[in-house]
């Protein structure tokens, strides 16, 4: 139980507004939070003075103010995703002997934000800042498989939207849908030689507070290395689950 109830109510109110598609009335806030309307008005007035909320008198509704936007922008500037994930990747690479990556979706591409590799690991194309076709990478598909079907269809509407690097991989929307469905059922993605011949990767997704895929953690090893994909997937899934927890995220329904 909080020892500072006013602060707790203020933060709950901010989160409530942040999860709504637009401004809402004070009565809706009171009902949603289970608070007296008089208490909600007091909180809103205090927050408006500090510009965390704004009142829209014609609509009789309240929305987030510029100070809330500044806080959100500062969160992004601090690079929390990379900071939270880096120690997880370092530990994962040390434990498995594999090269660990953190990737996010950038349109229909996988953008790599972090890379941790053990000593004497072979050089890979997947460096920080590199972008690769998402449908070919384990990281990209680990994220794509948790997107709404309509969003995937918008990214890959026709066969001409598919490229390949080694002559393999899904080459049409139907092939990608089938592959994503199989990988979604097993909970992780596997890529063998689609990006670079002779290398295999497994990946799992971490999720944000809305249950949307935020980033993927992948492990890459030479294909000749006698390590079952399931063993590597267990490490990737465990690290992804810990990153989800650190992001205050939740698994999708």
Tell me whether residue 168 is in a domain.
Answer: yes
Question: What does DSSP say about strands 199-207 and 189-192: parallel, antiparallel, or unpaired?
Answer: antiparallel
Q: Say what the pTM is.
A: 0.72
Are 145 and 67 in a shared domain? no
Are 93 and 113 in a shared domain? yes
Are 42 and 135 in a shared domain? no
Are 193 and 145 in a shared domain? yes
- Please give the tally of structural domains in the chain: 2
The CA distance from 99 to 116, in Å, is 6
Q: Which pLDDT does position 75 carry in this prediction? A: 61
Q: Which pLDDT does position 70 carry in this prediction? A: 79
Last residue of a domain, one of 43, 74, 105: 74
Task: Tell me the C-alpha to C-alpha distance, in Å, between residue 222 and each of 35, 41, 98, 122, 133.
Answer: 58, 61, 9, 8, 20
Q: Which pLDDT does position 63 carry in this prediction? A: 93
Tell me whether residue 154 is in a domain.
Answer: yes
CATH number at residue 106: 3.30.450.40
Q: Which pLDDT does position 76 carry in this prediction? A: 57
Last residue of a domain, one of 31, 55, 74: 74
Q: Which pLDDT does position 146 carry in this prediction? A: 95
Which stretches of the chain drop beneath a pLDDT of 70?
Answer: 1-3, 73-79, 226-227
The CA distance from 61 to 50, in Å, is 17
Are 102 and 56 in a shared domain? no
């Amino acid at each position: 139980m909080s020892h500072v109830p006013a602060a707790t109510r203020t933060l709950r109110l901010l989160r409530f507004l942040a999860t709504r598609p637009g401004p809402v009335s004070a009565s809706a806030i009171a009902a949603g939070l289970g608070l007296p309307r008089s208490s909600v008005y007091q909180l809103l007035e205090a927050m408006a003075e500090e510009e965390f909320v704004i009142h829209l008198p014609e609509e009789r509704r309240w929305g987030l103010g510029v100070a809330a936007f500044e806080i959100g922008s500062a969160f992004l500037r601090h690079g929390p995703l990379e900071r939270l994930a880096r120690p997880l990747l370092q530990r994962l690479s040390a434990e498995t002997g594999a090269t660990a990556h953190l990737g996010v979706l950038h349109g229909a591409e996988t953008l790599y934000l972090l890379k941790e590799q053990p000593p004497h690991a072979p050089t890979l194309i997947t460096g920080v800042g590199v972008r690769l076709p998402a449908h070919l990478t384990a990281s990209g598909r680990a994220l794509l498989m948790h997107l709404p079907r309509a969003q995937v269809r918008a990214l890959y509407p026709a066969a001409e939207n598919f490229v390949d690097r080694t002559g393999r991989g899904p080459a049409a929307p139907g092939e990608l849908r089938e592959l994503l469905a199989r990988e979604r059922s097993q909970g992780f993605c596997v890529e063998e030689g689609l990006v670079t011949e002779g290398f295999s990767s497994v990946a799992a997704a971490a999720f944000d507070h809305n249950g949307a895929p935020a980033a993927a953690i992948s492990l890459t090893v030479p294909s000749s290395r006698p390590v079952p994909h399931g063993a590597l997937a267990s490490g990737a899934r465990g690290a992804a689950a810990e990153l989800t927890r650190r992001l205050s995220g939740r698994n999708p329904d």
